[in-house]
């Protein structure tokens, strides 16, 4: 691998490096530019408003090499703007120029792109060289405005073309956030299609401001929740990328168990109580110590011990009570008691935890 090839992943020919150059030759169609020692480039004469002269200095953008010359454009010209407008999820036609150790260099119109070998879409056993010189469909995976670099995938494009360009529910997709509203964010997925990332699907925690999680122009990965009306309505989710905190709770908690929670707010059905980050349960009216409305008995921010009436991780529902199964009122800090008694029993030599000694201590302290 040459020194130039070795630099491809960071600053190679698939980037848009900006350098200063000196005009050293002009003919009827092309302008030749000296970019430095043993580094020359060429740019179309039509790119200049006025015919350039030998010795003129300009800022140029490097779009990749063809033969021994760098293909150039003027910094600030329309070609850079078109690159900056590239969006994750777009389907584009590209010509495969050459193969490197890590992947392929492609050309999309006047621009260059990079495709990792793993994204070639070639069947197993097919030599990667068979793509050289071909014009293929690719999907934009990532746009890096800071380094002015785009990464594409033929593999993703083939999958999109099989489904008519529409993603499937459950599929992970990448896109660029184009607009953020109070109720969610619109994400450009390519082919002119947008998906809505509703605020309720951004995080397992309550989201006060969507801008705390996503920003316009940001490239994100999301899960497709549903595709309706022929692709005109695509729902996306971020929180579905990670395990639900309800599922985590279900691994250690059970119905009838005492837990601690903090009262968040009141609704018509009762009180919402947060028991863990991302897990808020309902304390229904009628599950309090008296028949009075819960808002008259509890205060937001108050910490209480509660009993789990129902835990449904699939529907992400948790129902709580301030009463024992026999109707007795649960003491404010009672959820802490079993652990403390078991720790004390262990210190006194009762093994394993939960033996008769632990139960006797619990009964005595009760």
pLDDT in tens, 156-211: 888 766 665 677 788 888 888 988 988 889 998 865 578 899 988 898 888 889 99
Asked if residue 49 has pLDDT above 80, the reply is no
Average pLDDT over all residues of the chain: 79
Most confident listed range (6-20, 30-44, 297-311): 297-311
Long-range Cβ contacts of 124-131 (<8 Å, 24+ apart): 128/99, 128/104, 129/99, 131/96, 131/99, 131/104
Task: Quote the CA–CA distance of 328 and 17 in Å, as a whole number.
Answer: 73
Of 18-32, 119-133, 139-153, 191-205, the one with minimum mean pLDDT is: 139-153
CA angle 33, 57, 50 (to 5 degrees): 90
Q: Please tell me the class of the 245-332 domain.
A: mainly beta
Q: Identify the pLDDT of residue 120.
A: 93
Which token pair is 14? 């698939």
Contact in structure between 43 and 56 (CB atoms under 8 Å) = no
CB atoms within 10 A of CB 52: 18
Residues in CB range of 34: below 8 A, 6 or more apart? 21, 22, 23, 24, 40
Q: Identify the pLDDT of residue 23.
A: 92
Q: Identify the pLDDT of residue 263.
A: 94
Query: How does strand 270-276 pair with strand 279-284?
Result: antiparallel
Question: Which has the closest alpha carbon to 348: 337, 363, 358?
Answer: 358
Indicate the CATH number for domain 85-158: 2.40.50.140
Asked if residue 3 has pLDDT above 50, the reply is no
Question: Which has the closest alpha carbon to 133: 161, 169, 96?
Answer: 96
Asked if residue 108 has pLDDT above 90, the reply is no
CATH of 170-241, one of 2.40.50.140, 1.20.58.340, 2.120.10.30, 2.60.120.1440: 2.40.50.140
Nearest 10 degrees: Cα torsion 43, 90, 76, 62: -40
Q: Identify the pLDDT of residue 4.
A: 33
Asked if residue 44 has pLDDT above 90, the reply is no
Same fold flag, 3-81 and 170-241: yes
Each residue of 244-293: pLDDT tens digit?
A: 888 889 888 899 999 999 999 999 899 999 998 889 999 999 999 888 99
Q: Identify the pLDDT of residue 10.
A: 33
Domain ranges of the chain: 3-81, 85-158, 170-241, 245-332
The predicted model gives 71-99 an average pLDDT of 68
End-to-end CA distance of the chain: 76
Q: Which fold, 3-81?
A: OB fold (Dihydrolipoamide Acetyltransferase, E2P) (2.40.50)
Q: Which residue has the higher pLDDT, 165 or 346?
A: 165
Most confident listed range (96-110, 128-142, 248-262): 248-262
């Amino acid at each position: 691998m040459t020194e130039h090839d070795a630099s491809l992943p960071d600053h190679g020919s698939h980037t848009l490096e900006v350098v200063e150059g000196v005009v050293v030759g002009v003919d009827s169609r092309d302008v030749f530019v000296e970019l430095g020692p043993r580094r020359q480039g060429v740019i179309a004469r039509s790119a200049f408003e006025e015919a350039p002269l030998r010795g003129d200095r300009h800022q140029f953008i490097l779009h990749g090499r063809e033969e021994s010359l760098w293909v150039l454009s003027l910094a600030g010209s329309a070609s850079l703007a078109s690159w900056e407008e590239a969006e994750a999820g777009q389907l584009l036609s590209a010509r495969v120029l050459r193969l490197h150790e890590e992947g392929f260099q492609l050309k999309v119109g006047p621009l260059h792109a990079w495709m990792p070998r793993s994204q070639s879409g070639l069947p197993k056993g097919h030599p990667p060289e068979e793509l050289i010189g071909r014009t293929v469909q690719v999907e934009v995976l990532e746009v890096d405005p800071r380094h002015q670099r785009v990464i594409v995938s033929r593999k993703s494009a083939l999958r999109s073309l099989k489904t008519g360009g529409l993603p499937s529910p459950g599929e992970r997709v990448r896109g660029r956030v184009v607009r953020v509203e109070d109720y969610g964010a619109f994400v450009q997925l390519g082919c002119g299609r947008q998906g809505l990332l509703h605020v309720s699907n951004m995080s397992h925690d309550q989201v006060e401001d969507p801008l705390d999680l996503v920003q316009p122009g940001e490239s994100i990965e999301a899960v497709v929740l549903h595709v309706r009306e022929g692709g005109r309505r695509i729902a996306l989710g971020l929180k579905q990328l990670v395990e639900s905190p309800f599922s985590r709770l279900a691994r250690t908690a059970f119905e009838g168990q005492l837990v601690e929670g903090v009262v968040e707010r009141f609704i018509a059905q009762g009180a919402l109580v947060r028991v863990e980050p991302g897990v808020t349960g309902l304390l229904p009216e009628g599950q309090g110590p008296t028949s009075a409305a819960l808002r008259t008995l509890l205060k937001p921010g108050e910490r209480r011990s509660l009993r789990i009436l129902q835990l449904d991780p699939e529907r992400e529902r948790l129902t709580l009570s301030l009463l024992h199964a026999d109707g007795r009122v649960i003491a404010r800090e009672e959820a802490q008691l079993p652990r403390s008694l078991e720790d004390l029993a262990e210190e006194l030599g009762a093994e394993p935890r939960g033996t008769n000694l632990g139960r006797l201590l619990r009964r005595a302290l009760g």
